[in-house]
Amino acid sequence: MTVNTGQPAPAGIDGDSSNAGIAETELCDRYEQLFTAAVNDVLREKGLLCQALPPAILPLRHGTKVAGLAFTVKGAKSPVLDDEMRQRAEMLDAIPPNAVCVWDTGGDDTSAQWGEVMTMASRQHGCRGAVIDGGVRDTDRVLDMGFPIFCRYRTSNGMLGRFRVTDWQIPIRIAGVTIHPGDLIFGDVDGVIVVPRRLAVDVLLTAERVRAKEEEIKQLILDGLSPSEVVARGGYF
């Protein structure tokens, strides 16, 4: 098992040259005003067609939206108990503000990688949400807390004795989508999309223009124009 505890969390986007003057919290907040389809279209125009996580990873509750900077976690099925709680706590301690905790479970189908107490602990650090290619438990209490979670399944099975964390803050890959620590993670009812960090501001600004453009297109429809007339005026669907 490789336990990665030595790597520092990446510097915040604040101060990064790719930041273009947008502070980290504002960046995340502005993404949350958008919708993933608009961001997806902007990425497609840049030739990035494989940035959406598998469609089985969905919000626990309809209407949930979250944007944050990837805090990556990798784990695997394992019956080994030694040191598991201390190690998991160390991982949780390392989560920085504005993070979305993203889990590569290697396709686990048995355990919950997240629950009520982990929600409470990570929120204390300013964690904005969790995206898990795996499971969640304590679901009703997590929902009561209003914490954004995207996952594949729910189960009462905890991790202990079934699954354990092996690394964190390393590049991970979920169904062909590579996620680096600090990438912008954005999830809504259409699922989760990954924006490479160096493009996060550029994509935000373009997607904000897409949103405005789509308001114009919708107005043309409301005005009674046919689909062909809408397209002739530069509209699209």
* Residues of the shown chain interacting with Mg ion in the complex, contacts defined by CB under 5 A: 115-116, 138
Residue 214 CB, shortest distance to ligand OAA, in Å, is 39
Our finding on whether 138 is near ligand OAA (CB under 6 A) is yes
CB 74 within 8 A of CB 169: no
CB of 179 to ligand OAA, least distance (A): 22
With CB cut-offs between 5 and 8 Å by kind, which of Mg ion, ligand OAA, none does residue 29 bind?
none
CA 201 – CA 30 distance, rounded (Å)? 10
In the chain, the largest separation of any two C-alpha atoms, in whole Å, equals 67
Using DSSP's 3-state secondary structure scheme, residue 165 falls into: strand
Distance CA 181, CA 197 (A): 9
Secondary structure letter of residue 95 according to DSSP: P
Question: Any binding-site annotation on 235?
Answer: no
Residue carrying structure tokens 């202990």: 160
Closest CB to Mg ion among residues 50, 81 = 81
**Residue 57 touching ligand OAA (CB under 6 A):** no
**41 vs 116 by CB, closer to Mg ion:** 116
Q: Tell me how far apart the alpha carbons of residues 64 and 62 are, in angstroms, rounded to a whole number.
A: 6
**Neighbour tally for 30: CB within 10 Å:** 16
Q: Shortest distance, CB of residue 122 to Mg ion, whole angstroms?
A: 13
Name the residue nearer to ligand OAA (CB basis): 19 or 78: 78
* 137, 152, 164, 197: residue in contact with ligand OAA (rule CB under 6 A): 137
Structure-token pair, residue 5: 């505890």
**Residue 117 labeled ligand binder:** yes
112 binds, among Mg ion, ligand OAA, none (CB under 5 to 8 A by kind): ligand OAA
Is 137 among the annotated ligand-binding positions?
Answer: yes
Residues 180 and 39: their CA atoms lie apart, in Å, by 18
- Name the residues that contact ligand OAA, by CB under 6 A: 112, 115-118, 137-138, 158-159
